[in-house]
């Protein structure tokens, strides 16, 4: 009510108990040629050509970086089709017909300890760049750019908070591959020259803390600590997490590296481990299908798998007659899609299917729940009123650009006003 | 499968405006029950008149101000599209205002006076400003102020003769000649708490009101900041006056002021009205400070014995100023805390010199 809301029913407990199916039977795999960050791209394979796991099949081109595409199965290139990617847009996809032999490309050779020991900062950056690693927490920001910084780095933080409801991808990575996360963190520390590493997890995840601490005993010559931070939302937002984990208050809009901090998602660190140790790009991700409109299931599937296949495998939709809301990502910040021929990309972690609930907006009664709950201390209700009269000056004074679109204002509103949408409109107006 | 287009977030908290309104009605129950117990049919009739007028007129005005669609043919269709925005909140919200307004009326005030006040409150103060969420003045307080200004005779008559309609309330007695501490003989403090005094229907029983206050604060339907800020300001200023004027009986003076008049009722049900309050934490502290000082100033130096409704309405005027985008912020900075204390001290000095204090 008229109070700060921090906790959202997260529904993770049930999802964690789901068995994880390893899905390797996809007949066709789809590789988007472009992505939200890379509006341009080209492929370097011909139709009918056979590719193997880890082979470069093309390049996506962003504003200031290029990113290679890798095949995640072995098989034959058969053509192009349009599919929906993680950002909800229709994109051209390269199709590879899976021969289900899963042959590795000749370049995929595990590095020995001695080889890794000899790697320099430049080598790490080159490896990570060539593996096409991006922020797997959802930002899809190229990882090597973060590591390229000239600023001295004191601490590398592994963000394992994952505060959005219904998401368990990072949780399962930490639970099942703690050593890979830790080694990935060590590589990131070496690449950035940071003496300290921190793994930030939720306070209530004591089982994860135990597991990580147990694994850390093997790496006692590195200064890595597990730090427990709050259970609340949006604790996973990097500035909020850094504030609680290391006590550095970084203003919005500033580069983390200026304050000697680097922040990676735990899944990203696992992918750094795979890239450095095994020379592998990101091949697989945990993909959860959840929500009340579909049979819930967890999969470990190759990048490029079509999500509609997974839905079918899980048991399909429930209550077909009720309209559904399809969400890629979490229910607070995820992307809405209106078709289910979605392709798994690096940042895909979850599809949520909710039965439609009609919400009727009532007038605002100035209860200020949104103002109290806002993690960046702006005033959503006042911004809404300023937007309605198209008052640009007021919108600037109310600092609408600080909004991180976490969705808490819409979530808490007792009048069910869609404030987050007004924030987006307001931002667009002052741009 | 049909997919719907929406934007994030896709989940909502299980709260509603309806719940907040019903919470206030529940909190009002002890007060209403006591007034019916104490005044019987007098209370019931005034409550019903007030409820009927406010809910009925709100519905009528919504019908008048909404145009039917051009495609509507029959009367029924026109009515349906006119009332397409009519929800449960168009019943609960005026019901809350109506009950609070009725509780602000003396039990023997003629029914037509109650009706006039209710009509003014709902038509002019609420619906003309845009209905729920649009009003800038507290509906019940403005109605009450209107009745006492338009029909002053029914209220001020009480000064001359105790047995007129309103009856001499403890505060009018304090103001009108009896003076402190001799009022304590007519109105012992225990009677003020249990409601054995003349006064408006809702304000007299402190226990019933406090039950409602605790309920509202526990349910977080009321913001404790406004309540606390108003109470701190009021108590510190009244204590100062008590210490200056009646150094031996200042405790009784403070208690007498606290439990007499509409202070507790206003603190519980009127200042906590979110619609007319600022929307930020510092803003709400400041708003409480403003209300608290205005109540003390009006009671001590003004023409009225009462001050809650007038003080609240006056503070309502400052809300757009407090909420101005130029300076409104939700962060409580040290600067704000200092200025809050400075204003409180300044008000203390004003009151201290006002009652004849010297350095």
| ipTM attached to this prediction | 0.90
Question: A176 and A270, same structural domain?
Answer: yes
Dist. CA A54–CA A85, nearest whole Å:
21
Task: Say what the pLDDT of residue B164 is.
Answer: 40
The residues on B that touch A, with CB distances below 8 Å, are 1-13, 15-17, 19-20, 87, 89, 131-134, 219-223, 274-277, 279-281, 284, 323, 325-326, 328-331
Tens digit of each residue's pLDDT (9 = 90 or more) over A115-143: 888 888 889 999 999 898 998 887 888 89
Residues of chain B positioned with their CB less than 8 A from the CB of A358: none
Assess if residue B11 is contained within a domain.
no
Interface test with B, best of A2, A369, A417 (most B CBs within 10 A): A2
Question: A164 and A264, same structural domain?
Answer: yes
> What torsion, rounded to 10 degrees, do the Cα atoms A352, A357, A360, A364 define?
-40
**Are the beta carbons of A365 and B16 separated by less than 8 Å?**
no
Burial of B271 (0-12, 13-18, 19+ CB in 10 A): buried
For residue A264, give the CATH number of its domain: 3.40.50.11540
Dist. CA A280–CA A61, nearest whole Å:
21
Residue of chain A with shortest Cα separation from B87 = A362
Residue of chain A with shortest Cα separation from B88 = A362
Number of domains into which chain A is organized: 3
Question: A193 and A90, same structural domain?
Answer: no
Assess if residue B37 is contained within a domain.
yes
Residue of chain B with shortest Cα separation from A369 = B279
Tens digit of each residue's pLDDT (9 = 90 or more) over A40-59: 888 888 888 999 999 999 99
**Are the beta carbons of B3 and A331 separated by less than 8 Å?**
no
Dist. CA B329–CA B282, nearest whole Å:
7
Three-class SS of chain A: CCCCCCCCCCCHHHHHCCCEEEECCCCEEEEECCCCCCCEEEECCCCCCEECECCEEEEEECCCCEEEEECCCCEEEEEEEEEECCCCCEEEEEEEEECCCCCECCCCCCCCHHHHHCCCHHHHHHHHHHCCCECCCCCCCEHHHHHCCCCCCCEEEEECCCCCCCCCHHHHHHHHCHHHHHHHHHHHHHHHCCCEEEEEEECCCHHHHHHHHHHHHHHCCCEEEEEEECCCCCCCCHHHHHHHHHCCCCCCCCCHHHHCEEEEEHHHHHHHHHHHHHCCCCCEEEEEEECCCECCEEEEEECCCEHHHHHHHHCCECCCCCCEEEEECCCCCCEEECCCCEECCCCCCEEEEEECCCCCCCCCCCCCHHHHHCCCCCCHHHHHHHHHCCCHHHHHHCCHHHCCCCCHHHHHCCCCCCHHHHHHHHHHHHC
Task: Say what the pLDDT of residue B156 is.
Answer: 54
Assess if residue B359 is contained within a domain.
no
Q: What angle do CA B242, B248, B250 make, to 5 degrees?
A: 25
Question: A419 and A273, same structural domain?
Answer: no
Residue of chain B with shortest Cα separation from A328 = B8
Assess if residue B71 is contained within a domain.
yes
Interface test with B, best of A318, A341, A362, A421 (most B CBs within 10 A): A362
Dist. CA A287–CA A297, nearest whole Å:
9
3-state secondary structure of B273: coil
Question: A234 and A136, same structural domain?
Answer: yes
Number of domains into which chain B is organized: 1
Assess if residue A362 is contained within a domain.
no
Task: Say what the pLDDT of residue B159 is.
Answer: 37
Burial of B331 (0-12, 13-18, 19+ CB in 10 A): exposed
Domain carrying residue B292: 17-354
User: Of B5, B9, B220, which is closest to A1 when you measure between CB atoms?
Assistant: B220
Assess if residue B4 is contained within a domain.
no
Question: A123 and A85, same structural domain?
Answer: no
**Are the beta carbons of B330 and A327 separated by less than 8 Å?**
no
Assess if residue B204 is contained within a domain.
yes
Task: Say what the pLDDT of residue B157 is.
Answer: 46
Question: A236 and A126, same structural domain?
Answer: yes
Residues of chain A positioned with their CB less than 8 A from the CB of B277: 366, 368
Question: A321 and A172, same structural domain?
Answer: no
Q: Which of A355, A378, A400 lies at the terminal end of a domain, its last residue? A: A355
Residues of chain A positioned with their CB less than 8 A from the CB of B19: 414
Residue at token pair 């095949």: A71
Question: A287 and A221, same structural domain?
Answer: no
- Residues of chain B short of pLDDT 50, as ranges, are 157-166
User: Of B13, B274, B330, which is closest to A2 when you measure between CB atoms?
Assistant: B274
Q: Which of A328, A355, A382 lies at the terminal end of a domain, its last residue? A: A355
Return the exposure string of A144-172: e unless at least 16 CB atoms fall within 10 Å of the residue's CB, then b: bbbbbbeeebbbbbbbbbbbbbbbbbbbb
Strand order in the sheet with A196-202: A223-229, A196-202, A155-159, A261-265
- Residues of chain A short of pLDDT 70, as ranges, are none
**Are the beta carbons of B20 and A333 separated by less than 8 Å?**
no
Assess if residue A364 is contained within a domain.
no
Distance separating the N- and C-terminal Cα atoms of chain B: 81
User: Of B4, B8, B329, which is closest to A407 when you measure between CB atoms?
Assistant: B8
Assess if residue A3 is contained within a domain.
no
Question: A344 and A421, same structural domain?
Answer: no
Domain carrying residue A218: 113-278
Question: A306 and A255, same structural domain?
Answer: no
Q: Which of A355, A382, A414 lies at the terminal end of a domain, its last residue? A: A355
Question: A308 and A221, same structural domain?
Answer: no
**Are the beta carbons of B10 and A320 separated by less than 8 Å?**
no
Residues of chain A positioned with their CB less than 8 A from the CB of B220: 1-3
Task: Say what the pLDDT of residue B176 is.
Answer: 65
CB atoms within 10 A of CB A425: 16
CB A3 within 8 A of CB B222: no
Dist. CA A202–CA A220, nearest whole Å:
23
Q: Residue B242, CB half-sphere, CA atoms under 13 Å: how many?
A: 18
**Are the beta carbons of A325 and B4 separated by less than 8 Å?**
yes
Task: Say what the pLDDT of residue A392 is.
Answer: 94
CB pairs under 8 A between A and B: 150
CB B96 within 8 A of CB B202: no
């Amino acid at each position: 009510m008229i109070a700060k809301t921090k906790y959202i029913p997260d529904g993770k407990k049930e999802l964690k108990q789901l068995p994880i199916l390893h899905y390797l039977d996809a007949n066709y795999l789809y590789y988007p040629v472009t992505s939200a960050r890379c509006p341009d791209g080209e492929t370097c394979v011909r139709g009918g050509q056979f590719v193997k796991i880890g082979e470069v099949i093309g390049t996506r081109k962003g504003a200031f970086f290029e990113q290679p595409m890798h095949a995640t199965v072995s098989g034959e290139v058969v053509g192009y089709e349009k599919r929906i990617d993680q950002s909800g847009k229709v994109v051209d996809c390269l199709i590879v017909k899976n021969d289900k032999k899963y042959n590795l490309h000749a370049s995929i050779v595990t590095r020995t300890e001695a080889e890794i020991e000899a790697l320099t900062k430049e080598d790490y950056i080159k490896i990570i760049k060539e593996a096409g690693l991006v922020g797997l927490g959802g930002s899809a920001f190229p990882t090597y750019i973060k590591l390229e910084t000239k600023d001295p780095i004191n601490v590398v933080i592994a963000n394992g908070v994952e505060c959005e409801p219904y998401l368990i991808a990072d949780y399962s990575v930490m639970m099942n591959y703690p050593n890979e996360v830790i080694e990935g963190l060590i590589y990131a520390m070496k690449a950035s020259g940071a003496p300290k590493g921190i793994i930030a997890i939720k306070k209530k995840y004591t089982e994860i803390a135990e597991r990580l601490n147990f694994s850390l005993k093997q790496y006692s010559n590195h200064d890595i600590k597990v730090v427990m931070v709050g259970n609340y939302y949006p604790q996973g937002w990097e500035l909020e997490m850094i504030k609680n984990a290391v006590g550095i208050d970084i203003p919005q809009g500033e580069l983390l590296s200026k304050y000697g901090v680097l922040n990676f998602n735990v899944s990203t660190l696992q992918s750094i481990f795979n890239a450095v140790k095994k020379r592998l790009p990101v091949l697989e991700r945990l993909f959860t299908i959840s929500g009340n409109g579909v049979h819930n299931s967890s999969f470990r599937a190759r990048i490029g798998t079509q999500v509609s296949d997974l839905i079918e495998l899980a048991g399909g939709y429930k209550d077909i007659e009720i309209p559904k809301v399809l969400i890629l990502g979490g229910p607070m910040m995820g992307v809405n899609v209106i078709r289910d021929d979605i392709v798994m990309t690096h940042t895909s972690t979850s599809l949520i299917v909710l039965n439609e609930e009609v919400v009727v907006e009532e007038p605002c009664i100035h209860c200020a729940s949104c103002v109290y709950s806002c993690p960046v201390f702006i005033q959503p209700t006042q911004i809404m009123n300023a937007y309605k009269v198209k008052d640009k000056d007021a919108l600037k004074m109310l600092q609408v650009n600080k909004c991180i679109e976490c969705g808490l204002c819409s979530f808490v509103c007792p009048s069910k006003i869609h404030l987050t949408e007004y924030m987006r409109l307001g931002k667009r107006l002052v741009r | 499968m049909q997919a719907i287009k929406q934007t994030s977030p896709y989940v909502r908290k299980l709260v509603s405006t309806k719940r907040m309104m019903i919470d206030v009605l529940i909190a009002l129950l002890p007060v209403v029950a006591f007034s019916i117990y104490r005044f019987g049919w007098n209370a019931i009739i005034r409550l019903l008149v007030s409820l009927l007028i406010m809910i009925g007129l709100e519905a009528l005005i919504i019908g008048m101000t909404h145009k039917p669609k051009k495609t509507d043919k029959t009367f029924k269709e026109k009515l349906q599209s006119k009332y397409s925005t009519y929800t449960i909140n168009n019943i609960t919200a005026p019901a809350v205002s109506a009950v609070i307004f009725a509780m602000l009326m003396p039990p023997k005030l003629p029914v037509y006076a109650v009706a006039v006040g209710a009509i003014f409150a709902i038509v002019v103060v609420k619906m003309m400003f845009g209905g729920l969420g649009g009003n800038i003045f507290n509906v019940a307080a403005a109605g009450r102020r209107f009745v006492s200004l338009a029909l002053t005779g029914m209220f001020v008559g009480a000064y001359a003769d105790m047995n007129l309609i309103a009856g001499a309330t403890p505060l009018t007695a304090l103001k009108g000649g009896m003076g402190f501490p001799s009022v304590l003989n007519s109105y012992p403090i225990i009677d003020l708490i249990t409601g054995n005094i003349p006064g408006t229907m809702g304000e007299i029983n402190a226990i019933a009101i406090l039950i409602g206050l605790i309920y509202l604060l526990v349910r977080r339907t009321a913001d404790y900041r406004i309540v606390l800020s108003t109470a701190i300001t009021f108590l510190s200023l009244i204590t100062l006056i008590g210490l200056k004027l009646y150094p031996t009986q200042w405790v009784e003076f403070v208690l007498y002021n606290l439990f007499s008049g509409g202070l507790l009722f206003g603190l519980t049900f009127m200042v906590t009205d979110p619609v007319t309050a600022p929307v930020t934490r510092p803003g709400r502290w400041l708003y409480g400070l403003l209300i608290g000082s205005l109540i003390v100033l009006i009671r001590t130096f003004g023409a009225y014995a009462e001050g809650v409704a007038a003080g609240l309405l006056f503070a309502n005027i400052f809300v757009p100023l407090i909420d101005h985008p130029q300076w409104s912020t939700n962060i409580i900075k040290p600067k704000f805390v200092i200025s809050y204390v400075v204003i409180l001290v300044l008000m203390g000095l004003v009151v201290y010199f006002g009652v004849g204090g010297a350095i």
